[in-house]
Amino acid sequence: ENKYDLNFAGAGKQNFRSHSLYAGAEVGYRYHLTDTTFVEPQAELVWGRLQGQTFNWNDSGMDVSMRRNSVNPLVGRTGVVSGKTFSGKDWSLTARAGLHYEFDL
């Protein structure tokens, strides 16, 4: 949900909301270096849809209109994660650290 607040002299205060939708896919493969350590290269692609909208209102005899066009962002991400798994008799814990680069397409 996107929220816009407008407040300037003489126009009163207006609130507007819109919705957006995002979908993504991520791929990666975990290469085990030892029984407890790994490295995992990854790639992700996310597509979104932000709905366009026109906002019209009248305050104190003044007509105001604002338009936002629809937007379809496409964002990519590449990176690598490495980690180590620690285990006990009845538990296990995996610590992970990674570097990622995001970019607009």
55/100: higher pLDDT: 100
Domain of 35, in residue numbers: 2-7+14-104
Residue with tokens 């995992």, as numbered in its chain: 40
Other beta carbons within 10 angstroms of residue 3's beta carbon come to 8
CB-based contact 37:52 (threshold 8 Å): no
pLDDT value at residue 17: 75
Report the C-alpha gap between 59 and 50 in whole angstroms.
Answer: 27
Encode pLDDT of 2-61 as tens digits: 666 666 555 566 667 778 899 999 999 999 999 999 999 999 999 999 888 887 777 677
pLDDT value at residue 11: 56
**pLDDT category of residue 68 using cuts at 50, 70 and 90:** confident
CATH number of domain containing 40: 2.40.128.130
Which pTM value belongs to this model? 0.65
Other beta carbons within 10 angstroms of residue 11's beta carbon come to 14
pLDDT value at residue 65: 79
Report the C-alpha gap between 36 and 91 in whole angstroms.
Answer: 14
pLDDT value at residue 12: 60
**Tally of domains in the chain:** 1
